[in-house]
Amino acid sequence: MSRPLPAPEADPPLGRRFRAFWTAALASNLSDGVAMIAVPWLASSLSSDPLLVAAVATAGRLPWLLLGLPAGVLVDRLPRAALMVSANAARLALWALLAVAVASGWASVPLLAAFAFCFGALEVCYDTAAETAVPALVPPDRLERANGHLRTGSLVAQEFAGRPLGGLLIALGVFVPFLVNIAALAVSVLALLRLRTAAPAGENGSAPGPGTAGFPREGGTGGPRSTTGAGGPGETRAAGKRGLRGVGADVAEGVRAILRQPLLRLVAGISLLVNTSYATALSTQVLFVRETLGLGPAGFGLLMAFAAVGGVIGAQSVARLRAALPRGVLPTACLASVGAVYVLIAWQPLIPVVALGYLLASGLIIGYSVSLVSIRQRITPDRLLGRVNAAMRTVGWGASAVGMAAGGVLVSALTPSWGHEDALRAPYALIGLVSLAVTAFLGARLTRLVRAYDG
């Protein structure tokens, strides 16, 4: 009598290697969340000049615009695991030096700005390498689940744990958060080192191939990454392109990879439009909450909590939604829904509507982002993935910088005729209209290209 076959597993495990990677990311994001509170607080305690305080924040963001593309070259040239270990070990050392400076009374705004820039540069390297390394850890059909777990961990560690913890630790002493960051980054480095040496055979079903990223694959091979990636003949790595002379050519190759790939080119164009409009609301969000909704700091924090919860739900739902919806529809559906939500917020700026809108919009934005990042990881040759990821991030950050400036200009221009409270609704209307217009004119093409290249 034959034995019945076991029922297929609905959600195959992502494996111990991914869990170690996720632990490293969680600890790193906890450190980032604490830093989001500790660094601005330290800057404000050193100077009450808003320009100087803003200079520290700007110094931390500049590396994403100035160093994003070169970081992509670095990620494609070096073993990604080693790069991530080195970046977080260097961040740990920076926090230790800053803690000593604060405890000794040597801290100053210029020193803090220099620290923020160096820390941001290392963050660019770590985050780009981390996003690029994921395909080496899980099979292609599980990328949505893996990226969803990573985004969930990032939200929980930064929003629900890191920021509140940073505020509590400052009360114990302005240098105490830095000690916690040192411990968190030490955990991250240890997890990454453990990941590099762990090679459980046949653990998650991924097959040997390009993109080992410095992490060992099945059976502990851990060999060098493929130089051909997934792009076929003619896409061999130019071994002679090393040193500074080859950086420009490598960057140009990554940018060309986006321009020549119809889906990536379309997504980059959509990012320019949508990210610019989305950032207009970010720069005036505090004023919208205070003056249009009439909420104080506690209400603002509660709205941000609603957004964070929505992001967690969205990140955890991507894989299921991709399976449930018609093939290729998920990114377009998320974009159209985001537009409808923001139009509703602009039309009815009531506290319950805005709270629900923040929850829904955050989940939809995360869903859109995770689905497209997963597709990008599947269709981009491994040897180009670091540069392509870096270029796409640079597009997003550059558009956000322009949008933040445009938000203030838009509200100021409309205030004389609309009144200040109504003018603060304009950025939300702009996000909604731009998202709906992009869906109307480009949504069908986006769906068609997703089906064609991620079939």
Domain 16-199 matches domain 250-453 at the CATH topology level: yes
- State mean pLDDT over 209-226: 42
Residue type at 207 in one-letter notation: A
- Asked if pLDDT for residue 5 goes beyond 90, the answer is no
Q: What does the mean pLDDT of the chain come to?
A: 82
What pLDDT, in 10s, does the model give residues 119-129?
A: 889 998 999 99
Task: Identify which has the larger pLDDT, 53 or 415.
Answer: 415
Cα 158 from Cα 165, distance rounded (Å): 10
Residue 325 structure tokens = 């919806």
Residue type at 67 in one-letter notation: L
What pLDDT, in 10s, does the model give residues 144-174?
A: 888 898 888 888 887 777 767 777 777 787 7
- In this structure, of 38-42, 53-57, 224-228, 285-289, the range with the lowest mean pLDDT score is 224-228
Q: In the structure, what pLDDT confidence band is assigned to residue 234 with cuts at 50, 70 and 90? A: very low
The long-range contacts involving 52-56, CB below 8 angstroms and separated by at least 24 positions, are: 52/109, 53/109, 55/109, 55/113, 56/109, 56/112, 56/113, 56/116
Domain ranges of the chain: 16-199, 250-453
Task: Identify which has the larger pLDDT, 21 or 301.
Answer: 21
Which residues, 6 or more positions from 100, have their beta carbon under 8 angstroms from its beta carbon?
Answer: 106
The angle at the Cα of 348, spanning 345 to 350, to the nearest 5 degrees, equals: 90
The pLDDT assigned to 300 comes to 78
Please list the alpha-helical segments (H only) found in 134-199.
143-155, 163-172, 176-197
What pLDDT, in 10s, does the model give residues 258-282?
A: 999 999 999 999 999 999 999 888 8
Chain length of the chain: 455
Task: Identify which has the larger pLDDT, 10 or 379.
Answer: 379
Cα 182 from Cα 190, distance rounded (Å): 12
- State mean pLDDT over 101-126: 89
Look at domain 250-453 and name its CATH class: mainly alpha
Contact criterion met (CB below 8 Å) for 164 and 38: no
Task: Identify which has the larger pLDDT, 389 or 166.
Answer: 389
DSSP class of 425: T
- In this structure, of 100-104, 106-110, 238-242, the range with the lowest mean pLDDT score is 238-242
Residue type at 50 in one-letter notation: P
Which residues, 6 or more positions from 334, have their beta carbon under 8 angstroms from its beta carbon?
Answer: 364, 365, 367, 368, 371
Task: Identify which has the larger pLDDT, 156 or 90.
Answer: 90
- State mean pLDDT over 328-347: 96
- Asked if pLDDT for residue 198 goes beyond 60, the answer is no
Cα atoms found within 13 Å of the Cα of residue 1, Cβ hemisphere only: 1
Q: In the structure, what pLDDT confidence band is assigned to residue 230 with cuts at 50, 70 and 90? A: very low
Q: In the structure, what pLDDT confidence band is assigned to residue 242 with cuts at 50, 70 and 90? A: low
Q: For 198, left (φ over 0), alpha (ψ -120 to 50), or beta? A: beta
Residue 77 structure tokens = 């040239």
Q: In the structure, what pLDDT confidence band is assigned to residue 12 with cuts at 50, 70 and 90? A: low
Percent of the chain with pLDDT over 90: 39
The pLDDT assigned to 443 comes to 96
- State mean pLDDT over 46-54: 71
Q: For 48, left (φ over 0), alpha (ψ -120 to 50), or beta? A: alpha
- In this structure, of 82-96, 108-122, 175-189, 295-309, the range with the lowest mean pLDDT score is 295-309
The pLDDT assigned to 60 comes to 79
- Asked if pLDDT for residue 194 goes beyond 70, the answer is yes
- In this structure, of 28-42, 409-423, 440-454, the range with the lowest mean pLDDT score is 28-42
Which residue is it, tokens 């949505």?
144
Contact criterion met (CB below 8 Å) for 14 and 150: no
- State mean pLDDT over 312-335: 92
Cα atoms found within 13 Å of the Cα of residue 218, Cβ hemisphere only: 11
The pLDDT assigned to 372 comes to 94
Task: Identify which has the larger pLDDT, 164 or 88.
Answer: 88
Which residue is it, tokens 């869990």?
19
Please list the alpha-helical segments (H only) found in 47-134.
50-66, 68-77, 80-104, 109-133
Q: In the structure, what pLDDT confidence band is assigned to residue 356 with cuts at 50, 70 and 90? A: very high
Which numeric CATH code is attached to 16-199?
Answer: 1.20.1250.20
Helix, coil or strand: residue 37? helix
Q: In the structure, what pLDDT confidence band is assigned to residue 217 with cuts at 50, 70 and 90? A: very low
The pLDDT assigned to 257 comes to 94
Dihedral (CA of 303, 309, 315, 317) sign: negative
The pLDDT assigned to 54 comes to 67
- Asked if pLDDT for residue 426 goes beyond 90, the answer is yes
Task: Identify which has the larger pLDDT, 345 or 164.
Answer: 345
Contact criterion met (CB below 8 Å) for 251 and 387: yes
The pLDDT assigned to 92 comes to 94
The pLDDT assigned to 212 comes to 45
Nearest to 269 by CA among 124, 138, 445: 445
